[in-house]
A and B are shown apart, each in its own frame.
Chain A
Amino acid sequence: MNEDASGVVGPDSRVDRQNVNPDNDGFTDVVVSEGDRLPERFPNPGLPPHRYRSTDYDPVSAKRAERQVTGIFALSIVGSILFCVSYFVFPLEGTFISIQRSTLALGVGLGLAIFAIGIAAVHWAKTLMPDHEVTEERHDIGSEEDRLAALDIINEGIEESGIGRRKIIRNGLIASTAILPIPVILSLGDLGPLPHTDLRTTLWKRGTRLVQDPTGDPVKASDVTIGSAFHIIPEGLDEAEHPLDEKAKAVVLLVRMEPGVVVPRADREGWDVDGIYAYSKICTHVGCPVALYEQQTHHLLCPCHQSTFDLTHHADVIFGPANRPLPQLPITVDDEGYLVAQRDFEEPIGASFWERG
């Protein structure tokens, strides 16, 4: 520690705040508190010494900077000319390659034209324009008189508007703003009908055939060989009122696994047809289509957040943010040997929702 005016202090120094003199507004004063050799105030170090640029004292250097700035401006002109020439040299002929050439040439030309002006301007300012630091003192904050004058203006406004005097107008203002939200709330009714049972039901019902997406061909149990994966929609999907809405709920992945790999579950007895299982393709996390099926591990991966479902354990979640297994669609075969649904899913498919329970 030292006491001199430079006020160089170590990292452990502290200013004794109790001894700060409120009248002392000087920047350079150092007041040494009693019994403590720390300066009470640190001096304003001021601006660092001005460092002259080579362009300030060397005419050759200044001339060079001048040429550079002019050169970069010239580059911008080249860019503009390039743009204009390319506009005619690379006409759009409707082919991809002509679009690519034209876009590239026009972009390079215009980009160069604009970017070079910016570079030149900055380079000009940095090398040739004066760079002396200028200090402007902060203005004093308004005095008490200014504050009162401002208050007068506000009071005058209140007085002139008559809001304090003409109560009926004031009440009108309050009433009209209070009632304004009602039209807004009313228009929320247009957000659509309530979903009712839409979130809990799908197109699947007893006897609905499983058909292939997108061809619509029905699927025979014998077609589904071991290791196969079929992407399934319910028959008659196209006749639905909103086919895409229905598809988003009803899509199913149909797989056949080797005998014995699926760990049986008493309550799912009879839901499969000879090792052919149908699971909802809608992720129970946020509803992405889960369809990355690995036929050897029997894992089903959701591409959005990597939730992984194990089909050997009735689509239990083994990884990722999903919270529930994928719902299983109970299936059977009809008289002609085609796969059909036994009934709808027993639980709502897809992501959680408020009233899901």
Chain B
Amino acid sequence: MALVATGGLYTLFSPGEAEASAAAPPSAAQVKDGQALFEANCATCHGLQAQGSDAAPTLIGVGAASVDFQVGTGRMPLAASAQQAPEKEVQFNAEETAAMAAYVASLAPGPAIPTDEMVAAVSDPERMAQGNDLFRTNCAMCHNVVGAGGALTQGKYAPSLEGTTGTYLYEAMLTGPQSMPVFNDANISPEEKQNIISYVKQVQEQPSPGGLKLGSLGPISEGLFAFAAGLSALILCAVWLGRRSS
């Protein structure tokens, strides 16, 4: 179920590491380092040959992108079995993550880590508008129209995309971590993925001229605020009005 460790979705952590690993092709030494790290840290659940077990899926063919996303956002290694692997403190540095990604990628072909150019937000309004269209159709039902996140079934959730780097957004679409479906390049082309990233970045930079965003959750959070804060203020006014002066 959800605790199997295909990992989570998006992250708040800094990009650096993923982009560094994208450039250099893996060397034999890197793969060897990665294998050592894998056997020490991952093999308990994923198996010594990354073949998977009852507790965790196989990693053969998941590609470097999966490893970079899962380890780079701290979702892996898993701290505890739960409905969903939460984003947490990153356990490995960029070099170690890249080594493990290289090792897993060497097992079988799989999605590679996107390059910096592929994930850079573009400022072309038409492309951002198309990104918005695609986001609305493919992403917004779970992640909310401005990427604020939302609830799924039985305690699972689609995390907020606030502050998530373009690389992790791209990798999540490409690999479909945990509950998220896979959006392969035939479904959403690399250029369209870049458009989506551009939209997400752009919409998150939008200031809120109307005041507090209240989580961008729409009428629910606003209604709660009006109820809790607004009604309390009105009740206080009414109590004061009805009280005799001392």
Contacts and interface: CB of A to CB of B under 8 A. Distances in A.
B141 to A, nearest CB: 4
A96 B209 contact: yes
Secondary structure class of chain B's binding surface, majority of residues: loop
Contact of A295 (B150, B179, B187): B179
Contacts of B183: 228-229
Most buried by A among B182, B211, B241: B182
A306 B2 CA distance: 18
Contacts of A266: none
Interface in A95-132: 96-97, 99-100, 103-104, 122, 126-127, 131
A303 B150 contact: yes
A293 B211 contact: no
A308 B2 CA distance: 16
Interface in B171-209: 176, 178-184, 186-187, 192, 206-209
A297 B209 contact: no
A303 B157 CA distance: 12
Given A214-B134, A294-B152, A319-B153, A225 B184 contact: yes
A228 B181 contact: yes
A53 interface: yes
B137 A99 contact: no
- Chain B interface size band reads 35 or more
Contacts of B192: 215
Given A96-B207, A215-B192, A228-B187, A301 B181 contact: no
A289 B181 CA distance: 17
B153 A299 contact: yes
B40 interface: no
Interface residues of A, number: 45
B84 to A, nearest CB: 10
Contact of B181 (A55, A96, A103, A293): A293
Secondary structure class of chain A's binding surface, majority of residues: mixed
Interface string A211-226: 0111100011011111
Contacts of B6: 296
A297 B2 contact: yes
Contacts, number: 101
Given A231-B137, A289-B141, A294-B152, A223 B245 contact: no
Contact of B152 (A97, A127, A214, A292): A292
A212 B187 contact: yes
Nearest to A214: B133
Contacts of B179: 294-297
A10 B206 CA distance: 68
B156 A294 contact: yes
A227 interface: yes
A255 interface: yes
Contacts of B246: 53-54
Nearest to B180: A295
Nearest to A319: B153
Contacts of B245: 53, 55, 126-127, 131
A292 B1 contact: no
Interface string A29-68: 0000000000000000000000101110000000000000
B60 interface: no
26 contacts: A100-B207, A100-B209, A100-B211, A122-B241, A126-B244, A126-B245, A127-B245, A131-B244, A215-B192, A220-B186, A222-B186, A223-B184, A223-B186, A225-B184, A225-B186, A228-B183, A292-B141, A294-B2, A294-B153, A296-B4, A296-B6, A296-B179, A297-B153, A303-B141, A303-B150, A306-B153
Which 5 pairs of residues, A with B, have the shortest CB-CB distance? A223-B186, A229-B181, A294-B179, A227-B182, A126-B245
